[in-house]
């Protein structure tokens, strides 16, 4: 048991150390992702309390959070300099794609909100 | 096909602006190749449109079959009343007295497309009637499909394969069967949307760009709006992602492509009212969601592994995360399925996995002829040489595996399985067959033509950079087999012969088998001249002009759409078949004695009854041949109708030896009323039924509660009026 907690502590420490080495721009994107997922979880908890009617509003709320989180992760992947597959992609193009997809996502959400 | 001309070109006098001086009017090789490709594509585009016009030239520009009439009626409504009325339309003219919420129970893609084309044409002052637009929508989209097939072929192999794919799919009978001019049905537009979605998705996986992934989400939205077969896409794409993950070919591009397409695509799909919340509630869509969550976990673990750089620590982290994720996943799935929140697979799609399911449980699905398993002859008929080019193409795909070829292989194999289960799904397999076969054709022709053009003297491989071509290496190594060049020429001629036979076969098949409107029948008369039977339209127009506007017509569900579209009268049941009990009520009425049927008809407010009878002309798709299905469907809901009552020793007969219930049921009486006096064939007794090939058993038919209203000129459609109840004294 002690070895287990020791392992866990070592794990968390090395994770924290490795994460501190990431550039700030990526950390900002990670913060946005965490915020979006947290909002989604809050909405699910609220739905569990008051029921799921109207279902389309609940779905649009949760899916907008999940969608924008996923798109932010895609942006992070494309902007990260360590990814050799995307080294030809200028970060402006990646950000423009991100904005476009978010625009479409939120327009559909607004139609679905009801 | 991929062979470019290196000889000096003849000077062409076109496009003078791109050449600085008159001397340089020669095209470079690249420009020549572009010219050849563009002109080939243009010809293929026109060919795909023109080959589907047989029935328009032979008969007239009209809508075929049954389902297209419903689509036509809704498109007419859309152009007259606008989108908002269409989207919220409640139709009280079908399924009397229940009505049908049309706005919420159809796939609007086809109607909106046709209405849009109609509006654009009117904007440019082409005053075409919406019917012409409807008739020609399917060929137009078939031409667009060839373009998409070209780009798809280019993406998975090279532009030569793209050209071959476009040419093959332009005339492939499997596709033509559902997209001739006049066949105004969802599949005409849906196959275009299917191929477009697949192409955009493969492009997104190849480039890893969010923009292409967004485009594929829109393609998926178009597919969802067009056809219920979109379930194929939403299951094939996650399966593909799973295969890539399992074989270790995953990359960041896959993550970007799938996630954007899934989330945005799912949201867009839920805007269609008919689909509703199925993407989060139905068992058929759960695979996509499962793969979505799996991807998140997988790539998260991949990222942690990357930043940790330490195997042991990562293993412990992996253990923790995996146990959590798997428990949560299994728990959610089991609670969802057990509580019924996640609905199980619907009968339509479950019968694809278990083909015997429909026959035992849902007779309506089993009775449709398009839902029967496919015979080998159908495969040969619809695919011809593609049948053996497909395995050859698979071989080439495996030789040069990439993300794109894996996708095409999976698409081909899954669609071939489903095409074997249900005849109708040959249509979905057709693009896959054409794409894979085009790889085989293109690669073979390229290899052979390089052999033909190889100069045996120069060892440096005289400028033919063909990848992996052992033939080119052999030629340049100067160890060529004797008569290699002649052999290659012979094989090339053989390939040319095969492709010519394919073209001839496709044209013959289109002309003979797939160009009949089904609503107008044709036959060869005694003198060899063509005889047209236009009885259906005659009957529907009689209904339109001779019955009160609020009359209700009872018929078998096959003819419902046509009666509402052309006869403009209310029907009891139609082809939508959404209410099995209502159809069973009609089936029960048709199979009961006349007085029992009269009770049922009074309760449904029926004024007219319409039956189809082929005994005079020999037309075999008539109601007597469909009668056993009426009994089965009626008996499925009302146990008072028992199928053995109508059979004699398990045999279905209508002559003197037939079962007494058969000889006196309503359908028999309505079909054979006054038929006993009619001589149909020289040398046969009166009352000889030309379809069943027997003399009918009950010739002396008296109708007590109905009277004959109209019989068409060839006795194919017969309409009876229901008499009002007698006065009590």
User: B91: helix, coil or strand?
Assistant: strand
Task: Give the pLDDT score at B727.
Answer: 84
Average model confidence (pLDDT) across chain B: 87
**CATH code given to domain B531-722:** 3.40.50.12610
Only one residue has tokens 């994460």, namely A19
Element (H, E) at B608: strand B608-612
For residue B658, pLDDT beyond 90: no
**Angle, alpha carbons B573-B576-B580 (nearest 5°):** 60
pLDDT band at B456 (very low <50, low <70, confident <90, very high): low
Cα–Cα distance between B521 and B621 in angstroms, integer? Answer: 11
Radius of gyration of chain B (CA): 30
Q: Which residue has the higher pLDDT, B23 or B498?
A: B498
Distance CA B70, CA B560 (A): 9
| pLDDT of B466 above 60 | no
By Cβ distance, the residue of A22, A60, A78 closest to B256 is A78
The pLDDT assigned to B341 comes to 73
Q: Which residue has the higher pLDDT, B223 or A16?
A: B223
Q: pLDDT for B169-205, tens place per residue?
A: 999 999 999 999 999 999 989 999 999 999 999 999 9
The residue that leads in pLDDT, B364 or B373, is B373
- Judged by CB atoms closer than 8 Å, whether chains meet at B252 and A73 is answered as no
Cα separation of B611 and B623, whole Å? 7
Which candidate in B211, B214, B256, B273 is best for mutational testing of the A interface (most A CBs within 10 A)? B256
- Quick check: B569 and B622 in contact, CB under 8 A? no
- Tell me if the pTM is above 0.80: yes
In whole angstroms, give the CA distance from residue B536 to residue B713: 10
**A53-69: b (≥16 Cβ within 10 Å) or e:** eeebbbbbbbbbbbbbb
- Rounded distance between C-alpha atoms, residue B339 and residue B688, angstroms: 59
**pLDDT band at residue A12 under the 50/70/90 scheme:** confident
Instruction: Give the CA dihedral B422, B428, B431, B437, nearest 10 degrees.
Output: -30
Sign of CA dihedral A45, A51, A53, A56: positive
* Residue B679 pLDDT: 85
- In chain A, which residue's Cα lies nearest the Cα of B253? A85
Here the tokens at position B220 are: 């998926």
- Whether the predicted pLDDT of B450 surpasses 50: yes
**pLDDT in the model for residue B314:** 75
Q: Strands across the sheet with B570-571, in order?
A: B570-571, B552-554, B608-612, B717-722, B706-711
Mean pLDDT of B493-497: 93
In this predicted structure, which of A10-19, B23-32, B340-349, B453-462 has the lowest mean pLDDT?
A: B453-462
Judged by average pLDDT, the poorest of B175-179, B353-357, B438-442, B660-664 is B353-357
User: With b meaning 16 or more CB within 10 Å and e meaning fewer, what string describes B143-170?
Assistant: bbbbbbbbbbbbbbbbbbbbbbbbbbbb
pLDDT at residue B371, as a whole number: 79
Q: What is the DSSP string of B285-321?
A: GHHHHHHHHHHHHHHHHHHHHHHH--HHHHHHHHHHH
Report the pLDDT averaged over residues B494-515: 93
Q: Please determine, for residue A4, whether its predicted confidence score (pLDDT) is greater than 60.
A: yes
Q: What is the mean pLDDT of residues A48-68?
A: 92
Mutation to test the B interface, candidates A5, A8, A10, A18, most B Cβ within 10 Å: A18
pLDDT at B598 over 90: yes
Pick the residue with more confidence: B528 or B11?
B528
Average pLDDT, integer, range B486-506: 93
Task: With a cut of 70, say whether residue B34 has pLDDT above it.
Answer: yes
CA B157 to mean position of chain CA atoms: 26
Contact B255 A104 (CB under 8 A): no
- Please determine, for residue B254, whether its predicted confidence score (pLDDT) is greater than 80: yes
A61 touching B, CB under 8 A?
no
C-alpha A74/C-alpha B212 separation (Å) is 13
**3-class secondary-structure state, position B444:** helix
Predicted confidence (pLDDT) at residue B10 exceeds the cutoff of 50? no
From residue B552, alpha-carbon distances to B193, B398, B462 in Å are 38, 60, 79
Q: How many CB atoms lie under 10 A from the CB of residue B544?
A: 14
Q: Which of B214, B251, B310 sits opposite A104 (nearest CB)?
A: B214
Percent of chain B with pLDDT over 90: 58
Of A47-51, B9-13, B591-595, B613-617, where does mean pLDDT reach its minimum? B9-13
Percent of chain B beyond pLDDT 70? Answer: 91
* B256 with A59: Cβ contact below 8 A: no
Per-residue confidence band for A63, with pLDDT thresholds at 50, 70 and 90: very high
Give the gap in angstroms from C-alpha A109 to the nearest C-alpha of chain B: 8
B483: pLDDT confidence band, cut at 50, 70 and 90?
A: confident
Q: Provide the Cα torsion B552, B553, B554, B559; round to 10°.
A: -140
* B670-716 pLDDT per residue, tens: 999 999 888 888 888 888 888 988 888 888 889 999 999 999 999 99
Residue B506 corresponds to which tokens in the numbers above?
Answer: 């496709």
pLDDT interval class at B611 (50, 70, 90): very high
pLDDT at B1 over 50: no
- Contact in structure between B613 and B715 (CB atoms under 8 Å): yes
Q: Which residues from chain B sit within 8 angstroms of residue A109, using beta carbons?
A: 267
In terms of Cα–Cα distance, which of B104, B51, B27 is closest to B514?
Answer: B51
pLDDT band for position A19 (cuts 50, 70, 90): confident
Q: In the predicted model, what is the mean pLDDT of residues B433-450?
A: 93
pLDDT of residue A2: 61
Residue B640's pLDDT is 92
Per-residue pLDDT at B469 exceeds 70: no
Average of per-residue pLDDT across B337-347: 76
Task: Specify the pLDDT at position B459.
Answer: 43
Region B65-94 average pLDDT: 92
The answer on pLDDT for B131 being more than 70 is yes
| Interchain CB contact of A71 with B (< 8 Å) | yes
Residue B434 near residue B44, CB atoms below 8 Å: no
For range B105-114, the mean pLDDT: 94
Q: Flag whether residue A36 sits within 8 Å of chain B, measured between CB atoms.
A: no
CA distances from A63 to A46, A55, B267 (A): 15, 12, 8
Which of A10, A60, A71 is the closest to B260 by Cβ? A71
> Between residues 76 and 95 of chain A, which touch chain B (CB distance below 8 Å)?
77-78, 82-83, 85-86, 89, 94
Kindly list the residues from chain B whose CB atom is less than 8 angstroms away from the CB atom of residue A100: 210-211, 214
Q: Do B264 and A100 touch (CB under 8 A)?
A: no
For residue B216, the tally of other CB atoms under 10 A from its CB is 28
Domain-wise residue ranges, chain B: 190-343, 531-722
**Nearest chain B alpha carbon to A89:** B209
pLDDT at B465 over 60: no
Do the Cβ atoms of A85 and B260 come within 8 Å?
no
- Cα separation of B362 and B342, whole Å? 21
Both structure tokens of A8: 């866990």
Cα of first residue to Cα of last residue in chain A, in angstroms, is 52
Per-residue model confidence (pLDDT) at position B9: 46
Residue B261 has pLDDT above 70, yes or no: yes
Looking at the predicted complex, does its ipTM rise above 0.90?
A: yes
Q: What is the pLDDT of residues B292-341, one digit of tens each?
A: 999 998 898 888 888 877 777 777 777 888 888 888 888 888 887 787 77
């Amino acid at each position: 048991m002690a070895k287990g907690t020791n392992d866990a502590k070592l794990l968390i420490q090395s994770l924290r150390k490795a994460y501190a080495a990431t550039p700030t721009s990526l950390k900002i994107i990670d913060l946005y992702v965490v915020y979006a997922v947290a909002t989604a979880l809050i909405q699910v908890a609220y739905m569990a309390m008051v029921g799921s009617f109207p279902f389309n509003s609940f779905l649009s709320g949760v899916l907008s959070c999940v969608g924008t989180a996923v798109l932010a992760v895609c942006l992070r992947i494309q902007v990260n300099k360590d990814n050799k597959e995307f080294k030809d992609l200028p970060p402006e193009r990646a950000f423009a794609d991100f904005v476009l997809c978010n625009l479409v996502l939120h327009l559909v959400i607004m139609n679905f909100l009801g | 096909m991929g062979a470019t001309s290196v000889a000096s070109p003849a000077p062409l006098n076109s496009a003078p602006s791109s050449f600085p001086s008159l001397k340089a009017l020669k095209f470079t090789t690249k420009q020549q190749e572009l010219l050849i490709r563009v002109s080939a594509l243009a010809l293929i585009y026109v060919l795909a449109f023109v080959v589907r016009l047989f029935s328009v030239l032979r008969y007239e520009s009209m809508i075929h079959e049954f389902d297209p009439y419903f689509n036509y009626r809704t498109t007419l409504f859309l152009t007259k009343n606008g989108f908002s009325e269409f989207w919220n339309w409640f139709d009280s003219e079908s399924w009397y007295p229940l009505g049908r919420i049309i706005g919420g129970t159809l796939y609007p893609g086809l109607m909106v497309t046709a209405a849009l084309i109609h509006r654009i044409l009117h904007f440019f002052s082409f005053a075409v009637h919406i019917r012409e637009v409807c008739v020609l929508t399917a060929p137009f989209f078939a031409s667009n499909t060839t373009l998409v097939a070209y780009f798809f072929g280019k993406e998975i192999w090279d532009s030569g394969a793209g050209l071959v794919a476009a040419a093959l799919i332009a005339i492939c009978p499997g596709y033509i069967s559902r997209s001739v001019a006049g066949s105004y049905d969802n599949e005409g537009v849906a196959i275009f949307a299917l191929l477009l979605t697949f192409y955009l998705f493969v492009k997104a996986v190849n480039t890893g760009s969010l923009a292409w992934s967004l485009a594929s989400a829109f393609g998926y939205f178009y597919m969802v709006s067009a056809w219920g077969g979109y379930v194929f896409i939403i299951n094939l794409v996650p399966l593909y992602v799973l295969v890539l993950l399992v074989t270790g070919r995953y990359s960041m591009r896959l993550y970007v492509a799938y996630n954007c397409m899934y989330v945005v695509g799912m949201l867009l799909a839920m805007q269609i009212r008919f689909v509703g919340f199925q993407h989060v509630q139905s068992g058929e869509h759960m695979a996509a969601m499962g793969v979505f969550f799996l991807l998140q976990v997988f790539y998260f673990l991949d990222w942690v592994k990357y930043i940790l750089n330490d195997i042991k620590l990562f293993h412990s982290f992996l253990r923790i995360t995996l146990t959590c994720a798997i428990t949560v996943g299994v728990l959610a799935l089991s609670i969802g399925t057990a509580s019924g929140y996640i609905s199980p697979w619907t009968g339509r799609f479950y019968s694809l996995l278990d083909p015997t399911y429909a026959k035992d449980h849902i007779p309506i699905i089993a009775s449709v002829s398009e839902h029967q398993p496919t015979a080998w002859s159908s495969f040969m008929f619809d695919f011809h040489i593609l049948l053996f080019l497909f395995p050859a193409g698979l071989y080439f795909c495996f030789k040069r595996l990439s993300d794109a070829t894996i996708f095409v292989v999976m698409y081909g194999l899954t669609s071939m399985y489903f095409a074997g289960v249900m005849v109708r799904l040959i249509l979905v397999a057709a693009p896959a067959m054409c794409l894979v076969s085009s790889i085989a054709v293109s690669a073979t022709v390229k290899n052979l033509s390089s052999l033909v053009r190889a100069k045996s003297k120069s060892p440096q491989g005289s400028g033919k950079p063909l990848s992996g071509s052992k033939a080119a290496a052999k030629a340049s190594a100067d160890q060529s087999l004797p008569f290699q060049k002649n052999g290659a020429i012979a094989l090339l001629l053989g390939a040319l012969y095969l492709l010519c036979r394919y073209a001839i076969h496709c044209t013959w098949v289109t002309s003979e088998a797939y160009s009949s409107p089904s609503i107008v029948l044709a036959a060869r008369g005694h003198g060899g001249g063509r005889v047209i039977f236009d009885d259906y339209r005659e009957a529907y127009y009689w209904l339109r002009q001779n019955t009160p506007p609020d009359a209700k017509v009872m018929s078998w569900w096959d003819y419902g759409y046509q009666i509402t579209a052309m006869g403009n009268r209310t029907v009891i049941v139609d082809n939508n078949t959404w209410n099995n009990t209502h159809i069973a009520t009609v089936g029960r009425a048709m199979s009961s004695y006349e007085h029992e049927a009269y009770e049922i008809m009074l309760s449904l407010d029926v004024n007219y009854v319409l039956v189809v009878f082929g005994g005079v002309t020999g037309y075999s798709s008539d109601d007597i041949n469909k009668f056993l299905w009426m009994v089965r469907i009626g008996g499925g809901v009302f146990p008072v109708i028992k199928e053995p009552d109508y059979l004699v020793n398990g045999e279905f007969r209508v002559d003197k030896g037939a079962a007494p219930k058969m000889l006196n049921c309503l359908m028999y009486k309505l079909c054979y009323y006054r038929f006993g006096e009619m001589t149909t064939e020289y040398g046969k007794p009166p009352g000889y039924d030309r379809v069943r090939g027997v003399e009918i058993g009950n010739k002396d038919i008296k109708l007590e509660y109905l009277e004959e209203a109209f019989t068409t000129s060839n006795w194919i459609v017969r309409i009876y009026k229901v008499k009002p109840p007698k006065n009590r004294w």
